Amino acid sequence: KRLADAEAEAAFRIVEAEKGRLVAEQAAAAAAERIRRLELRAQATMAAGVYKIKTTAHEQGQQAAGWGLAAWHGLPDTKRSESSTWVCVHQGDTWPCLWSVEPGVQAGTWRIKTGGHKEGKQPSGWGLASGHGLKGAKRNDYSVWAAVVQDEAKVDGDEWCLDWTIVPGMKPNTWRILTTEHTAAAQPAEWGLSAWNAHGAKRNDWSSKVAVHSGDEWPMDWVFERVVEAVKEPKVVSRKGKVLRSDGSMALEAVDTKAGHLMGIEKKSSSKVVMEAEVTSVPNMWKNQASLPHLPLPSLAQSIKLMLASIRPLVSEEVFAVTSQKASKLLENGEEGERAAELQAVLVERDEYSMATGGQYINWDDLWLRPRGPLYINPGGLVKNALFKKAGIAGQLEVATHVTCATLAFMGRVLDESLEPDTFKGFPLDMTQYKRMFASSRVPSAGYDKFLVAPSPAAIRHIIVIRRRNIFKVEVMTDGENGQLMPISVDAVRQQLKTIIDMDSTLGVGLGLGVLTMRGRDEWANDRENLANVCPNGTRTNAAYFEDIDTALFTICMDDDDDTKAADRRVAGLRRGLFGDPHCRWYDKPMQLIIAADGTMCSNAEHSWGDGLCFMRWGQEVATEIMTPTYDKNRLASDAPGAEAPAPTLLDFEVDFKTIDAVNQAAKEVAAWHERMDLSEMTVKAFGANDLKSAGMSPDGAVQSAIQLANYLVNGQLSSQQEIASTQGFKEGRLDAIRSVSHESAAFVKAAASRIRDGAAGSDAELLELLRAAASKHSSMARMAMMGAGFEQHIFILFGLAREQGYTFELFEDEGFRSLFVQDVIKTTHLESPFVDGMIIAPGNNFYDPSVEHPYVMTYNTNPDHIRFVVTCYKQPVSTEFSRGGANATSRDTSFKHLNGGDGGRAAEINASLRTALAFVEQIVSPAKPPGTPTPSTPGPSGAPATPVEGSVSPSRRKNRQRLMEHFLRSKEVSEQIAAFRSNALVSEKLGELFFDPLFLTNFEKAYATFSKAMAVMAEDEQQPKLVALAASLKPKIFEFVAPQQSDAVSAREEARLRSAQREEALAKEQARLRAQAKARAEALDQSWSSPVRPTGPVESVSPVEPVEPVEPVEPVELARTAEPPPRPAPPRGDGKISPKLLMKIAMEDPAIATAMAHPKVQPLLGSLMADPQLMTNPPAAFKSFQKRLAESAGRDEAPKLMALAQQLMPKLMGVMAQAQARAQAQ
């Protein structure tokens, strides 16, 4: 023991001596560094001027480089007082400020003043300041928050330190900003300015608070970029004694051409010549960003009205009356009304803040990162093999190689911001989602996940490749010119991937940690934290591996199996894209590209970072790259600059038994979920978007109605149906939802179901009009959602705020509310992409009530000549409880492509019903095609007109037109007459069109005139006289066949008119009865309405909705009543259009539009635009016509100015249209 004690004492003394030596060395190093900095300070000094001041990377503070110093007096969280603002740093070029560096009061010091910031409402001339002893500024004993204050030492009774020393930093070409001693502010000298995106200084993922800190470890080196680029001509722009920039913000700087740099100017000058410095141009990717409008926050009354209109067709009159009453409480005086007003006030404050920062009142991270369920909802996609086949690319290795190279090329355009911005029908779209697409990952965290983006994505060199449950880090970027990274060659990528494949025989199958990413988020957070802390010998190897995965540019999964033996390879490919082998995936990554052993490619994308439009753009860009590559397919690896890429690195995690148990448990959970999920795919051929457009309706609106009909046939009732709509036309826009069930669609569904199941009366023409009305209504709701006038996100955010605050509202537990948002909600999404063959989304759980599962999730493509559906749902026996009036026996279709085989399953059942519904839609749509509309056809006998495919044209109720045509052609005289023209395709085509013309039986003369004109116009010169003569000679012969059927058609038309008149008479009587009933009820309610609503103004009542079916009258229900009844709204225009006067009235509320109207050439043309019927149905065409007329009316000198003005007005007019749509929808 004595020997051990002696040894311990000796060891202790040795350690103490070593510590002393280290302390001495550190002190000597610090002294040497101080001497070096003093020498540098003597050699290099700061020059006065205007600068952008930017961060350098600070590892301990988790602060990225390149964020600009900023101050915004107009934002709630940065405004300190009326005369001071807290200082921040912000990513990008929009929110950082310019700063003027001027000599300080003390010798050798500087003052750093704001240059103003228009959006942030920050005045110019406020000085950077610190004060450790001042109220609210002290962070701790060693640091203090930095602020800018008015250009006086004393502000709000406190005296601030405004003088700074600026000395060379520790990093090359950088500077440190240090305080000077200030007794009154209790501010010590030599504290350095710094920013950290952690440690309580993180403001959000894009900005950090700024502080000063003692010592050398926590202060930061700063980059000063002088704004001395191309100088414009002098320009006087003065107003009210202030010198302004051309954008209206106050100019702090003027150019001193003698000194060659920017100097400050006196603000009190009434008129100064301002020389504007050319600030860095906006990158191409962001050139449209400034023109995007702000997403409006709806009023509470407006959203409730729209919500009730969507609830109405789903519930009974009694339920709707109760729901309306509960909804009205949110708008009335009372406890619920006050709470609702409080929550709306929170959103108003968010909205005001977001207007200043360029965001939205919707916190998208809160929507996506808070839920704790597994990432089963990640969308999967199947890529068309034809693309690779056409490019001569085959096999897993080649497909993976070229997709990797093509994706790197696209990524380069995103990271250097040269990508052409997205547009939709001529309107610009938001591009901010692309910033989170590469070198990023979702990271699990208890209670609330994080989404991390590498501090400098352009500096990341590697991707992640997963093969046989092993994870590899593969470097695909190398040093290029000008210090920028560039992709390695195609051959180098191929060699890297081939090396991984060749390891199959030696490496074996890995543990498959990727399956953990499919666990519940809290469980995965615990598993990841445990695995990161498995540290043999004190290393942090596992934590470093996680960082490699999180920061990887994207992920490639190279499966070692394929689906060549599957019964249906498309369905198997969809399944692979959704989950495949979960051990070989990493579901937290935004971009996960999956290639099977045979080269079939699919994808899986985590959803929190962005939406489908960005992924579709990636697909388009990759397809273009593969067909016309900008990367060199033939360049050798040795040709690439720099050294050859290193070999792939296996991320060989150290695991413990706890991790192994977690992997096994996760595998069981995923297998159980997989077993529960049902999948079915179905394609309707020879009928598609072209047919629906020809019938005068939106293909998407018609398909949405068909989905409702299919569900009604199976379950015997209407269910809430949701379709995703994009709001990327607004700044930081993402998604809203369309609730597709409407009074119009309900009318069509019930009439169609009665016809299909019971053979109820009703002509195809009548059902077609109902379908057109339903499709038109859906298009109107879709436009409203995309134009920011929807209600879905607003209601959901209010629901979430109420839950957070512990507020209860009767409405949120109401049957009507749950019928719309919670129970049996069918989720649908529409996909159009030439790169994708199909998309699949798992059923998932309801956002309002996670215990409720969605019955179906449907994705569909409306292609020109076919429609394809993919349906997922959870398996359960088809319950008779929900099949009352279900699909009849003929609606069952045994040709569906079902994941589990056989003809059972809920997904297969709904797909079979979808086929029945679409066949019915095809039947009623086909006769409505205008003359000359091409229809799918098969060639007839030689010389005979082509025979339409069965089902593509509905036969007449009394005579089959095809048989009539064949009977006519069998006539000997006719057969001989057209024998000479059997080789002429024109005769066959036009004669077929004549017999299938809708006017053929009802207006033969008009139909035949069209036929004769087509023969004359389209014939070749030498054939024209003969064909004209043939057409004339055939007319009497055809009429002989037509006359009997024509008289039948006329009789049928008269019968239809009589039935229509009888229905109109019955409807008029019913409407009169309803009006009398409503009047009586209103008079009765007058006796009970005594207390006024909120004193801020009258609350609009819910407009009465006319009943869909006259035989089931609906009593109008109003939400609330003020002391004085509100005026009766004007009746809607008969043509269904929005009044130009309403549009103009709303437009004139916008100052920019009102100013534009003062221009003599703009005023009449803008008025014409408001009256243009295309404005609401086809805005791009209307705007294009407006711009063209404006250009024609302007002179050569004035044209550019007016064109720029028109471009600025476009997003504002879109907002006007959204408001008009909202008012019309509310009425």
Q: In whole angstroms, how far apart are CA 460 and each of 456, 486, 644, 858, 1109?
A: 7, 11, 17, 37, 63
> Taking the CB of residue 976, how many other CB atoms lie within 10 A of it?
9
Among residues 652, 642, 674, 710, the alpha carbon closest in space to that of 488 is found at 642
Among residues 348, 364, 339, the alpha carbon closest in space to that of 297 is found at 348
Residue 1208 has pLDDT above 90, yes or no: no
What is the band of 154 on the pLDDT scale with cuts at 50, 70, 90?
low
Residue 980 has pLDDT above 50, yes or no: yes
* Helix, strand or coil, per DSSP, at residue 811: helix
If you average pLDDT over residues 167-184, what whole number do you get?
A: 85
Among residues 597, 593, 594, the alpha carbon closest in space to that of 566 is found at 597
Sign of CA dihedral 1001, 1002, 1006, 1007: negative
Q: What is the dihedral of CA 711, 713, 718, 720, to 10 degrees?
A: 0
Q: What is the pLDDT of residue 1146?
A: 81
* Helix, strand or coil, per DSSP, at residue 936: coil
Task: Average the pLDDT over each of 535-544, 739-748, 1067-1076, 1103-1112 and give the range with the smallest value.
Answer: 1103-1112
If you average pLDDT over residues 461-478, what whole number do you get?
A: 95
- Within 13 Å and on the Cβ side, how many CA atoms surround 418? 6
Residue 720 has pLDDT above 70, yes or no: yes
Distance in angstroms (rounded) separating the CA atoms of residues 519 and 372 = 9
Phi, psi of 1210 (to 5 degrees): -55, -55
pTM of the model: 0.60
Residue 5 has pLDDT above 70, yes or no: yes
Residue 375 has pLDDT above 90, yes or no: no
Strand partners, 1103: none
Residue 877 has pLDDT above 90, yes or no: no
Distance in angstroms (rounded) separating the CA atoms of residues 778 and 1225 = 12
Residue 100 has pLDDT above 60, yes or no: yes
Q: What is the pLDDT of residue 242?
A: 34
Tokens of 718: 């209407």
Strand partners, 681: 870, 897
Q: What is the pLDDT of residue 254?
A: 30
Q: In whole angstroms, how far apart are CA 959 and each of 867, 956, 962, 965, 1048?
A: 30, 5, 9, 11, 9
Q: What is the pLDDT of residue 343?
A: 92
* Helix, strand or coil, per DSSP, at residue 879: coil
- Whether the Cβ atoms of residue 770 and residue 777 lie closer than 8 Å to each other: no
* Helix, strand or coil, per DSSP, at residue 999: coil
Which H or E element spans position 592?
Answer: strand 592-595
Distance in angstroms (rounded) separating the CA atoms of residues 1186 and 1147 = 16
Sign of CA dihedral 901, 903, 909, 910: positive
Encode pLDDT of 334-358 as tens digits.
899 999 999 999 888 888 877 777 7
If you average pLDDT over residues 1144-1170, what whole number do you get?
A: 77
Q: What is the pLDDT of residue 25?
A: 73
What is the band of 996 on the pLDDT scale with cuts at 50, 70, 90?
low
Q: What is the pLDDT of residue 970?
A: 59
- Whether the Cβ atoms of residue 476 and residue 488 lie closer than 8 Å to each other: yes
Residue 956 has pLDDT above 50, yes or no: no
Residue 406 has pLDDT above 90, yes or no: yes
Encode pLDDT of 1030-1087 as tens digits.
777 777 777 666 665 555 555 555 555 666 666 667 767 766 776 676 666 555 544 4
Tokens of 985: 């395709």
**Close Cβ partners of 250 (under 8 Å, ≥ 6 residues apart):** 116, 123, 124, 242, 243, 244, 267
Q: What is the pLDDT of residue 1036?
A: 74
Distance in angstroms (rounded) separating the CA atoms of residues 874 and 910 = 12
Encode pLDDT of 107-143 as tens digits.
888 899 998 888 788 998 899 988 877 777 888 888 9
**DSSP secondary structure string for all residues of 748-786:** HHHHHHHHHHH-----HHHHHHHHHHHHHHHHHHHHHHH
Distance in angstroms (rounded) separating the CA atoms of residues 139 and 440 = 32
Encode pLDDT of 789-827 as tens digits.
889 989 998 998 898 888 999 999 999 999 999 888 888
Residue 738 has pLDDT above 50, yes or no: yes
Residue 897 has pLDDT above 60, yes or no: no
- Whether the Cβ atoms of residue 515 and residue 663 lie closer than 8 Å to each other: yes
Among residues 568, 565, 564, 562, the alpha carbon closest in space to that of 896 is found at 568
Distance in angstroms (rounded) separating the CA atoms of residues 35 and 29 = 10
Q: In whole angstroms, how far apart are CA 329 and each of 300, 321, 1169?
A: 12, 13, 41
Tokens of 972: 């000997």
Of 992 and 478, the structure prediction assigns the larger pLDDT to: 478
Q: What is the pLDDT of residue 977?
A: 62
**Close Cβ partners of 224 (under 8 Å, ≥ 6 residues apart):** 46, 51, 52, 53, 101, 175
- Whether the Cβ atoms of residue 739 and residue 310 lie closer than 8 Å to each other: yes
Mean pLDDT estimate for the chain: 76
Of 991 and 1052, the structure prediction assigns the larger pLDDT to: 991
**What percentage of the chain reaches a pLDDT higher than 90?**
26
The length of the chain in residues reads 1227
**What percentage of the chain reaches a pLDDT higher than 70?**
73
If you average pLDDT over residues 197-213, what whole number do you get?
A: 89
Phi, psi of 209 (to 5 degrees): -75, 155
